[in-house]
Structure formats: structure tokens, C-alpha cells
């Protein structure tokens, strides 16, 4: 997988904040009391269940911000699968630094690998169909960029990164504007020539009305499989079609079979379970 890592300048503030939160006011009093300053050790990051790796850059940065003398050798890079007992990376260097950074490194690595693993499960479920699996803005505050990166590591794609990416006309916009037609007309009057417009619809009647104003994309929210199939026929390639609403790996294949272009899933970033990964000491 050709997965471009995020620039360190984006990652360092996140990792520094997490480390400072953990270090508190007095640092790692447990490790400092038990481990001598000159003790060097070798540890390994090991998968404890099957999944997809994501977040190694953040984990490595956590160790190296505590001590630049920590050396890391990656065996299973981001985007690669890992099975129970398989080594993801070896981490060697000052024992104090490794133990102090351990929890912060694992918090990032387990969380992002969990997102990548969840994404991969849905991507696999719709294999053979053209629909792309995409995430949403339902992300942990402050972690959106890395959580969306983890979705890509799992084979998915990204929806909007923020409110300024595109004009997405939601149900509340429509209610306040007084209808779909008014909302789209106002959006089109405001949008620059490079800004795309997507409108959310709940019914086929709303979709029919929206299509008269030629939006770039339509979000088909909480529609049944039969409705989605009919919606795709109505759109007939005139706009990108996006299905959303409580979609799981079990329900995704039938939705993909309707011919929609995108399947957006919020729980990939807001509720995916972590991937269990541990740090094991291999040498004194």
C-alpha cells in the first residue's frame, strides 16, 4: 500500500500534549524509582489479535521525544496486517525512556490500528463493488487528521476534513432555509467555482427536487436498500451518490450492490474498538 505518512510537524504537538498529560507534575515516578538511568533494554511491539497497523509514526515519536537515543526497527508498517503474536516493531534504548513513553505510544497505536482494522473489515465486505468506504467528521477532537489517516491505512477514503472543505447542505440547513430549493440556490450563489455542493435527502421526493438544481453530490440518508437502488437510477450518473446511516460490515454489501458511489460510516472513527497491541521486554 502506498500510504503517505503525515508530516512530523503535524504529529509532534499531539504527541507532546499526550506525553505532558501523562507526565503530570513530577514525571514518571515509578520508573525513575525502579530503573537506573543507564539501563538499556530491547522491547518489541507485538500484536495480540489480528488487525491492520496504523499510528507507528506517533508511537515512535512518543519514544524519541522522551529520548532521542531510542532506536526503532519497523517490521509491520502502517497499512500492513498483523496476527496474534507477530512483532510489529522493535524498540531499543534507555529503559527509562521506553517505559515512560510506553502508554502514550500504545494509546495512539492501539486506537489508530483499531480504526484501520474496522475500516478494512467494511472495505473487505464490499469488495467486488465500486462503492468506496469513507469516514465522516465524527472524530475525537484534536485527532481528526490522524484518525482519518488511519481510515486510509485500512483501505478507506476520507470525506470532509472540516466545514470549509465543501458545501454540505444538511437537514437543519434545509429546515432553516425553508426547503431544498432555497438552500441549494443560496449555496450556489455563495460557492466559489472550485467548491462542490452536496445536499442531504431523506426521501426520493426530496431527491427529485434536488436533482433539478444539479448538485455535485447527494447524501442519501437512512434510506432502505430498495430506496437506494431507485435513487441511483434516478440520479443516473448526474451526481455522486453517498449512502449513510448506521451502516455496518454486515449491511454494507447490500448497500454497495445498489450502485452508490460512497458509503459513509461515522463509527469507524468515533466507536471503533482498539486493536490490542502490547510492549514486551525481550532483554535485560
Name the catalytic one among 42, 48, 103, 186: 103
Residue 170 annotated as catalytic: yes
According to DSSP, residue 194 is labeled T
What are the φ/ψ torsions at residue 167 (nearest 5 degrees)?
Answer: -90, 110
Name the catalytic one among 16, 48, 138, 181: 138
CA–CA dist 154, 123 (Å, integer): 8
Name the catalytic one among 170, 185, 238, 282: 170
Residue 280 annotated as catalytic: no
> For the purposes of burial, counting CB atoms within 10 Å of the CB of 81, is it exposed (0-12), middle (13-18) or buried (19 or more)?
middle
Cα–Cα separations (whole angstroms), residue 118 to 202, 215, 242, 249:
27, 31, 19, 9
Name the catalytic one among 75, 216, 221, 276: 221
Residue 37, number of CB atoms within 10 A of its CB: 8
Cα angle 26, 13, 99; round to 5: 45
Q: Are 243 and 255 in contact (CB under 8 A)?
A: yes
Cα–Cα separations (whole angstroms), residue 49 to 42, 165, 253, 268:
22, 36, 25, 18
224's grid cell: 432502505
Residue 185 annotated as catalytic: no
Helix%, strand%, coil% for the chain, nearest 5:
40, 20, 40
How long a stretch of residues is the chain? Answer: 284
CA-CA-CA-CA torsion sign (99, 100, 101, 106)? positive
| DSSP bridge partners of 46 | 87, 278
Residue 21 annotated as catalytic: no
Residue 64 annotated as catalytic: no
Q: What residues are labeled active site?
A: 103, 138, 170, 200, 221
Amino acid at each position: 500500500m502506498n500510504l503517505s505518512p503525515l508530516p512530523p510537524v503535524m504529529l509532534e504537538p499531539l504527541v507532546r500534549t499526550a506525553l505532558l498529560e501523562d507526565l503530570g507534575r513530577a514525571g514518571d515516578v515509578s520508573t525513575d524509582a525502579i530503573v537506573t538511568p543507564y539501563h538499556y533494554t530491547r522491547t518489541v511491539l507485538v500484536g495480540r489479535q489480528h488487525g491492520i497497523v496504523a499510528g507507528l509514526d506517533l508511537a515512535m515519536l512518543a519514544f524519541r521525544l522522551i529520548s532521542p537515543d531510542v532506536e526503532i526497527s519497523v517490521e509491520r508498517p502502517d497499512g500492513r496486517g498483523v496476527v496474534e503474536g507477530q512483532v510489529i516493531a522493535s524498540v531499543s534504548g534507555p529503559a527509562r525512556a521506553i517505559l515512560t513513553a510506553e502508554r502514550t505510544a500504545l494509546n495512539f497505536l492501539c486506537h489508530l490500528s483499531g480504526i484501520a482494522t474496522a475500516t478494512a473489515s467494511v472495505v473487505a465486505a464490499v469488495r467486488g463493488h465500486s462503492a468506496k468506504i469513507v469516514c465522516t467528521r465524527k472524530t475525537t477532537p484534536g485527532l481528526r487528521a490522524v484518525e482519518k489517516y488511519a481510515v486510509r491505512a485500512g483501505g478507506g477514503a476520507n470525506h470532509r476534513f472540516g466545514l470549509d472543505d465543501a458545501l454540505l447542505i444538511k437537514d437543519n440547513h434545509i429546515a432553516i432555509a425553508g426547503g431544498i430549493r432555497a438552500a441549494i440556490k443560496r449555496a450556489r450563489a455563495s460557492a466559489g467555482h472550485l467548491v462542490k455542493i452536496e445536499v442531504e435527502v431523506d426521501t426520493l421526493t426530496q431527491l427529485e427536487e434536488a436533482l433539478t438544481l444539479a448538485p455535485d453530490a447527494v447524501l442519501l440518508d437512512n434510506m432502505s436498500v430498495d430506496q437506494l437502488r431507485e435513487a441511483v437510477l434516478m440520479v443516473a450518473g448526474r451526481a455522486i451518490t453517498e449512502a449513510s446511516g448506521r451502516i455496518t460490515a454486515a449491511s454494507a454489501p447490500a448497500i454497495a450492490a445498489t450502485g452508490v458511489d460512497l458509503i459513509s460510516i461515522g463509527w469507524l472513527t468515533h466507536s471503533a474498538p482498539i486493536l490490542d497491541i502490547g510492549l514486551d521486554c525481550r532483554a535485560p
